[in-house]
Amino acid sequence: MTSRTIRARNPVGSHVPVAGGLAAKGLAYARRIGAEAVQVFVANARGWATPPGDPAQDEEFRRRCAEDDVPVYVHAPYLINLGSHTEATAAHSVASLRHSLRRGRAIGARGVVVHTGSATGGRPRETALAQVRELTLPLLDELGDDPCGPDGPDGLAAPELLLEPTAGQGFSLCSRLDELGAYLDLLDRHPRLGVCLDTCHVFAAGHDLAAHGGAKALLDELLEVAGPGRLRLLHANDSKAAAGSRLDRHENIGAGRIGAEPFRELLRHPATAGVPLIIETPGGGPEGPKAAADIALLKELREPAAR
C-alpha cells in the first residue's frame, strides 16, 4: 500500500495478520510487503467463535482501504462445510459463514471466500450437494440481488460469496472446473455468487498449469463453465506437490511445481482482467520478507515489459 494506490490491471496483495487490530496491524503489514489488495480473517480460522469486531477499527480499516483503492476480501473459517453429515457442523457452518458475510460488509469487503466443502460420513454426494443448496441459497438471498448496491441497514454494500474449489482431497464436492459449473447451477448462478480460484488447488486437482498452454486452457474452461465476469479473485500460490496429487501444499511463487511462467500466462488472459491476486504462500513472518518477494515477482510478471 502507498498513500494512494495506483490501480493496476491486477492488484497484487496478501492475506494479512490482524491480531491487534485490522487497521493497526493488518494495514501496517500490507504496507511493509507492498500489498495492493488484502485478505483477512474476521474470526478464528479454525474455530466457530463469531466475535463482534471493533467498530472503530472497522471504520478506520474501511476508510483507509477506500481512500487507497485497496480491494478487501474475507476468508471464511476453514471448518465450514455446508455438506457435512453432522447436524451441529452444518448449523455452525451457517452461523460462521453468515458472520463472515456480515463482518465483511462492516469492513468494506468485496467478497467472502468459502471452500466448497465435502460429503462426510459416507453420505452420497447428491445428498450433500442438496444440503449445500438448502443452506446456502438463504444466505445469498440475505445479501440482496444487486451486487453494486449499498443494501445494508447502515448503507454499506454487501460482499459477494466467492466459491473456492478445493484441491480434491477426501470426498470433495468441487475441485475440478467441470464440478464448478454444476456447483454454480446448484445455486442457481445467483447474482451475488462469484468464484475464487486457487492456483495450487486447481493444479493439485489435475489442471496442469505447468504444461505448455496450461494456464490458458484452465481459464478458457473457466469461461465456458462459469461464464464471463464470474471470476472475482485469484489465490496465487505455487505448489509443493505434483499436478493431480490432490495435496494442498502451498509454495512460494516460482519455487514449486507450477513455476513462475504460468502466472504470467494467467495475467495475460481476458478472464483475469481486473481480478486481484492474493498470495497465501509460506514464510511471511512478522516482517513478511518472503511475502514481499512473492508480491514483487507477481508485479513483475504482470508488466507488459516482462513478456
- CATH number of the domain residue 200 falls in: 3.20.20.150
Q: Measure Cα distances from 159 to 16, 100, 139, 261 in Å.
A: 19, 10, 12, 32
What Å distances lie between residue 210 and 213, 224, 269, CA to CA? 8, 21, 16
Measured distance CA(197)–CA(296) in Å, rounded: 21
SS percent in the chain: helix, strand, coil, step 5: 40, 15, 45
With respect to residue 137, please indicate whether it lies within any of the assigned structural domains: yes
Length of the chain: 307
Q: Is residue 98 in some structural domain?
A: yes
Q: What is the pLDDT of residue 94?
A: 98
Residue 128 forms part of a structural domain: yes
Is 150 within a domain? yes
- Distance CA(74)–CA(71), nearest Å, equals 10
For residue 53, which phi and psi values (nearest 5 degrees)? 85, 175
Query: Does residue 118 fall inside a structural domain?
Result: yes
Q: Tell me, yes or no, whether 207 lies in a domain.
A: yes
pTM: 0.94
* Burial (Cβ within 10 Å: 0-12, 13-18, ≥19) of residue 48: middle
Q: Is residue 1 part of a domain?
A: no
> Mean pLDDT, 10 residues at a time, over the chain (307 residues)?
57 94 93 96 96 94 96 98 98 98 97 98 97 98 67 76 96 97 97 98 98 98 97 98 97 98 97 97 78 97 70
Q: Give me the pLDDT at residue 289, please.
A: 84
**Would you give the DSSP letter of residue 118?**
B
Q: Which three cell numbers stand for residue 265?
A: 500466462
Residue-wise DSSP of 221-241: HHHHHH-TT-EEEEEE-EESS
Other C-beta atoms within 10 Å of 286: how many? 8
Domain count, the chain: 1
Q: Does some domain include residue 6? A: no
